[in-house]
Amino acid sequence: MTIAIIAHDGKKVEMVGFVRDHIDFFKERNIQLIATGTTGTYLEKAGLEVEKMQSGPLGGDAQIASRLVEGKIDLVIFFRDPLGKHPHEVDVNMLMRLCDVYNIPLATNPAAALRFVQSLKLEFFEGRNLPR
């Protein structure tokens, strides 16, 4: 399973907190992580192995979107800052639209991400595979 992790600047601390709260889940289940550049650096500092793309404003969101279209991403966790202005908003919208087009689960806040993690823990515990 490959999970893309992205966070706007105003949400990076919250993302790191979320990941630290669930670090055993991310480490123990053979989950591959892919992230935009700066978010990936934060995840590495939190103790996770992650494949880093460019930072969001430099095309990282688009790189992740292309992987999504290729069927190489199973879930996106994207902590968005709905109150901030983002120069790459077009890329963000494109990524979210492609999640809908390709039926890829997308969590845009900690509550949704928590539900996904809880669901995946249950799926792994029971030995079932997620439908695609």
Active site residues: 61
HEC string of 13-55? HHHHHHHHHCHHHHHHCCCEEEECHHHHHHHHHCCCCCEECCC
First and final C-alpha spacing in the chain? 12
DSSP 97-119: HHHHHTT--EE-SHHHHHHHHHH
Residue pair 64/36 in contact by the 8 Å Cβ criterion: yes
Three-state DSSP class for residue 1: coil
